Chain A
């Protein structure tokens, strides 16, 4: 008992210290949204060839456990082979070349109404005066919490 008396202060502090680690009562969103082009209408698919002057509907399916917030689509050239997609398949890339007038598409959109599933559907006309070759197409989506998911696809623009 003498021992307890001697170390009472220490024990007290340890008990206080360990009891401090309380649990979270409110729930926080720990899930990222998801994004996929792996369904029939998903567009573009890996190694898709896009024709100049044509109009395409870029489609991807996004979902979240709570509420979706925004999405974006970015099309840029990969003439220098600086990156590759994350679809698991590899396309044959054309020889490395410089850019003269590459196609750049960068747009952001909001998803209103706190939806948990949504189909991205963006209509893009490929201009006639741009460089043909390897392009990179990336989708990204955020939820209301600020979690983000991305996916990217290698495509080609041809004459």
Chain B
């Protein structure tokens, strides 16, 4: 089996209409480097309600083994929706270090 290329090398190798026939292929493109801020959880305030998990438009927030929540920063865009929605105020947006 040949190794799968990330991109077609030639224009003739593109799928018609650039259709992607593989589900979940966005996972191959790590787009987290765009962000200017990232969320930081204070688990002392977290009540494990999962609102951040539900609201994350990138679906990059997931539940940890202890039942708290964390964002996968390789995909997080730093939009701050989780921090905005977190009503116990457990999430703080921090500037990216340059």
Do A and B come from the same complex?
Answer: no
Q: Which residues of A contact B (CB under 8 A)?
A: none
